[in-house]
Amino acid sequence: MRIQRSYTAAAAATAAVFVAAACATPPAAEAQGFRVADINPDNVLNGDNLDSPPGALLGGQLYFGVRDNVEGQLWRSNGTAGGTVSIAIPTPGSASDVELATAAGGFVFFEYSDPAAGQELWRSDGTAAGTLRLADIRPGPQGSQIEEIVALGASVLFTASDGTNGLELWRSDGTPGGTTLVKNIAPGAPGSDPRELTVVGSTLFFSADDGVNGLELWRSDGTPGGTVLVKDIRPGATDGNPFDLVAAGATLFFGADDGTHGYELWKSNGTDAGTVMVEDLNPAGDSNAARLMALGSIVLFEADDGVLGPELHRSDGTAAGTFLVEEIAAGPGGISVSDEGFAVLGGALVFNLADGVNGAEPWRSDGTAAGTSLLADLEPGGDGSSPADFRTVGARVLFRASTTAAGFELFATDGTAPGTILLEDIQPGGENGSPQMIGVAGGKLVLMASPSPDDQELWISDGTPAGTLPLVDPTPVPQTGSQTEELYDSFGTLIFRADDGVHGREPWVSEGSAATTELVLDIKPGANGSEPREFTIAGTRLFFSANGTEGQELWKKTIGGAVLVEDINPGTGGSQPFELTEAGGALFFGAFTPASGSELWRSQGFAADTEIVAEMGAGSASGFPSDLRNSGPFGGGILFSAETAAAGRELFTSTGAPGSFQLVSNFAAGTASSFPDIQLVNGFVAFVSAHTNAAGREPWMSVDTGATFTEVSLGDLYPGSNDSNPSDFVVAGGTTFFLAETPAHGRELFKTGGSAATTVLVLDILPGAASSGIQSPVAFDGKLFFGACEPATGCELWTSDGTSAGTQLFRDIFPGVRSGDPRFLKVVGDDLFFRACDEAAGCELWVTDGTPQRTRRAADLRPGGRSSKPGGDGSQNAGSRLVESGDYLYFAADDGSGEELYAIGALLFDDGFESNDTSAWSFVAP
């Protein structure tokens, strides 16, 4: 497959006529990319793959996130079908959830992840234009680890890490300029780690560790000066460990340990003097007061007085008003109150409690013995129905629970036993409707539920059976497709793994049409399949590992199908072949047998020549070979990492003859292990990431001089015993590039000339200690191309010639701060293909000839702004995502009907003529 960059002058006139005709006739479908075959036409995805975390109420509208198998989306609802709509988030192709939604000051704040910045704080005013990322708190794609967000007045306070100071308390008023660190309580990593953010009036309480007093109670008004330690409950550096913080009226209640009384119930008004233990319920030890639930100005909680075992207690903040509500479970076993939430109903709490007899079931209590009772034994027996996620809707509390008869469904109670009922069997017949409570809007509960195994929808409920019904389907039913993975070129025919919905995941082949796309062999009959992997050519044979009736063993493809090469570990356990690698026309791989452990093996395709090469470990001890590389002239045979008693885990080579192995480099002297990761750049040089006690994991080079192997250190890039973790060595235009991490620059692009002196940083793309998130570096057109991120342009396509000045943004595919997120870069002939995202088409297949002006979308397989995600989103090797075979470039993609095998043929024109981009069309012959 070769992309044509020029054509003769004699053909120019013909080309001009062809161009004119093409203006009236759309380009052929093949030039746009096409689905090769619909391998699994019956391919709906189970609705459990959809999700919706709890939402936030703002101006009568409930804001919440919906995640499907494609991307996270922001929605709002007023409780009606017409008032339930999605809000565009300007980052196509992200698979992030919208989480931790909180309303304050006219905005909804939430956590969201995009390729450029990772997980950061966003806000929305309910419009697409008013939905934006507030700050890249931790510059680069790593994200700031936001864990809690709460409203305080017109602002929100939240926890985040800027990558330097660890988790600390931050504040935002909904503007980028107003999103700032409140106070650096414990400078440096890991930070003070604020937890359990709880608002009482105009004060935020939380626990934090300042590095001096241990984990203690703090408060904040959102200003640096107003953020202070409330009390060192357990004096000194030992933790007082305040937990289960709950606001009840104007008082904060929590559990803590002062080092004298054990874990007991405490309260605070925000002052040192007003932070006191309420009552020592268990003078002989810990009462372990926990599961605090607020009811007006009192709290109900579980505590153990040392006599009755854990039981339900109550407190109004005074010693006299703190007492046992009722001995529910006779004997020391006591009760267990779940942390699955609670709700207030008519002056009482509804919550999950296990009494030791009925299992976990819904209970109610108003803080008195007479007002405390089991509402219903929904699932008789010791397990119970496990009620959870209680929400008050009008005069009822709705919750989810599981019974044998109905499955996991929506229930309701009016606070009485007869009024505790199954509200709706959303998926009838014992199957799970799986309700997920989102929030209450317009007097109705909005929830996500599954009316069938193949669908999940938004529902609403007013607490009555008649008022519990579907609201809207927020996303088309997601499709699994054939789950095409492990693409590999086998002598001009594509072989890959796919599931047709009948045979499970088995090997398939294709030559670019539905007629030539067929199952190789149903190795393991049934719905699961044999999960073939690591397709590898050695000599004239194609090998792979598959899990048949013999377990995971070595197979080879034949003209009529496939056969087992050898049952290396007889029985059903399998030898688990791994890292299949060709060298010298033979296949090398790691395999396990009980007698020899996990060792290096070799095969030429027959049982008789499938044999163990080297027993690195004595007897059944394993050498654990890994990082197998075809060394070519570098020592001949195979280069690999393995473990021996004499050298530890180091770099070895073998010719493939039984018993042949030679230590190449002992980077960590003696029996210590360097755990080398190997990457061959040419036949005579191996670049290695290896660990030594003195320098940590750093870059090395091993050179075959003919008689010996020479080790060369390329520098201690991260000084001391820290690791720079070098990786991705690529030679482009005569320069050897790689990625490494330093304390000053983060993980960035380096180059080396083969010595420590010539190993230097090329460019700190994202200045400072943060990393630019470089991915998919490849050599193309005499330069290095790769994806990288920086705040001004997001994650885009970059290029480097090895100089600082020549390392620059190549094309801002998604203009502005939003990210094109290029990945899976693949050189095919004279062109570079990759996946990238823009606003018009989402994430699709792109191509460049090495010039920015001829960098364009090659195919839009899912028109309308949704992403087909060519290359898929699975965990397979990046090299198997875009694969050239025969006349086509193959990849997995999803046009909305499920992920299937797609291909694109040779492009005849470099100017985008075949891409349906009419701006590239011309009536003038070149």
pLDDT at 265: 98
Are both 663 and 736 inside the same structural domain? no
3-state secondary structure 688-745: EEEEECCCEEEEEEEEECCCCEEEEECCCCCCCCCCCCCEEEEEECCEEEEEEEECCC
State the burial class of residue 530 (Cβ atoms within 10 Å of its Cβ: 0-12, 13-18, 19+).
buried
- Given 478, 513, 544, the domain boundary residue is 478
Answer for the pair 107, 781: CB distance below 8 angstroms, yes or no: no
Which segments in the chain show pLDDT lower than 70? 1-32, 42-53, 67-72, 90-97, 454, 472-480, 633-636, 682-686, 704-708, 874-878, 906-926
Domain membership of residue 291 (yes or no) is no
Any idea what the CATH number is for the domain that residue 341 is in? Answer: 2.120.10.60
Any idea what the CATH number is for the domain that residue 96 is in? Answer: 2.130.10.120
Domain membership of residue 591 (yes or no) is no
Joined together, the tokens standing for residue 643 give: 């473990």
In this structure, the number of other CB atoms found within 10 A of the CB of residue 924 comes to: 7
Cα–Cα dist 757/763, whole Å: 17
Domain membership of residue 638 (yes or no) is yes
Joined together, the tokens standing for residue 518 give: 């067929």
Report how far Cα 488 is from the mean position of its chain's Cα atoms.
26
706 to each of 703, 709, 710, how far by Cα in Å?
9, 8, 10
Are both 364 and 465 inside the same structural domain? yes
pLDDT at 767: 92
Indicate the residue type of 805.
A
Are both 69 and 102 inside the same structural domain? yes
Are both 683 and 790 inside the same structural domain? no
pLDDT at 20: 32
Joined together, the tokens standing for residue 605 give: 């395709």
pLDDT at 238: 95
Q: Does an H or E element contain 318, and which?
A: none
Joined together, the tokens standing for residue 163 give: 């990558």
Q: Does an H or E element contain 813, and which?
A: none
Are both 62 and 185 inside the same structural domain? yes
Indicate the residue type of 240.
G
Report how far Cα 887 is from the mean position of its chain's Cα atoms.
35
* Residue that is written with structure tokens 């590992």 in the block: 545
Best CA proximity match to 797, nearest among 877, 725, 805, 778: 778
Answer for the pair 642, 616: CB distance below 8 angstroms, yes or no: yes
Are both 679 and 722 inside the same structural domain? no
Number of domains in the chain: 4
* Residue that is written with structure tokens 């703090």 in the block: 218
What residue numbers bound the domain in which 692 lies?
A: 625-705
Cα–Cα dist 813/140, whole Å: 18
Q: Does an H or E element contain 672, and which?
A: none
3-state secondary structure 71-135: CEEEEEECCCCCCCEEECCCCCCCCCCCEEEEEECCEEEEEEEECCCEEEEEEECCCCCCCEECC
Report how far Cα 756 is from the mean position of its chain's Cα atoms.
36
Indicate the residue type of 129.
A
Q: What are the backbone angles phi and psi of residue 189, rounded to the nearest 5°?
A: -80, 145
Are both 662 and 764 inside the same structural domain? no
pLDDT at 634: 60
Domain membership of residue 804 (yes or no) is yes
pLDDT tens digits for 640-653?
999 998 888 888 88
CB under 8 Å to 805, separation ≥6 — which residues?
none
Indicate the residue type of 579.
E
Domain membership of residue 371 (yes or no) is yes
Helices (H) and strands (E) in the chain, counts: 1, 72
Are both 698 and 729 inside the same structural domain? no
Answer for the pair 50, 412: CB distance below 8 angstroms, yes or no: no
Domain membership of residue 451 (yes or no) is yes
Per-residue buried b or exposed e for 137-167, using 16+ beta carbons within 10 Å of the residue's own CB: bbbbbbbbbbbbbbbbeebbbbbbbbbebbb
Cα–Cα dist 50/73, whole Å: 11
Please spell the DSSP secondary structure of 548-564, one letter per residue.
ETTEEEEEEE-SSSEEE
Per-residue buried b or exposed e for 84-119, using 16+ beta carbons within 10 Å of the residue's own CB: beebebbbbbbebbbbbbbbbbebbbbbbbbbbbbb
Per-residue buried b or exposed e for 32-51, using 16+ beta carbons within 10 Å of the residue's own CB: bbbbbbbbbeebebebeebb
3-state secondary structure 476-518: CCCECECCCEEEEEECCEEEEEEECCCCCEEEEEECCCCCCCE
pLDDT at 48: 37
Cα–Cα dist 786/788, whole Å: 7
pLDDT tens digits for 698-733?
998 887 666 667 788 899 999 988 889 999 999 999
Domain membership of residue 303 (yes or no) is no
Are both 92 and 153 inside the same structural domain? yes
Cα–Cα dist 818/791, whole Å: 9
In this structure, the number of other CB atoms found within 10 A of the CB of residue 774 comes to: 23
Indicate the residue type of 282.
N
State the burial class of residue 527 (Cβ atoms within 10 Å of its Cβ: 0-12, 13-18, 19+).
exposed
Angle at 25 between CA 20 and CA 27, to 5 degrees: 100
pLDDT at 309: 94
- Given 672, 705, 738, the domain boundary residue is 705
- 524 in helix, strand or coil? coil
Domain membership of residue 111 (yes or no) is yes
The residue count for the chain: 926
Are both 773 and 795 inside the same structural domain? yes
- Given 678, 705, 732, the domain boundary residue is 705
Joined together, the tokens standing for residue 224 give: 């640096």
Strand partners of residue 437 = 447
Are both 120 and 53 inside the same structural domain? yes
Cα–Cα dist 30/916, whole Å: 12
pLDDT at 536: 97
Joined together, the tokens standing for residue 196 give: 């359990």
pLDDT at 708: 66
State the burial class of residue 829 (Cβ atoms within 10 Å of its Cβ: 0-12, 13-18, 19+).
middle
Are both 472 and 350 inside the same structural domain? yes
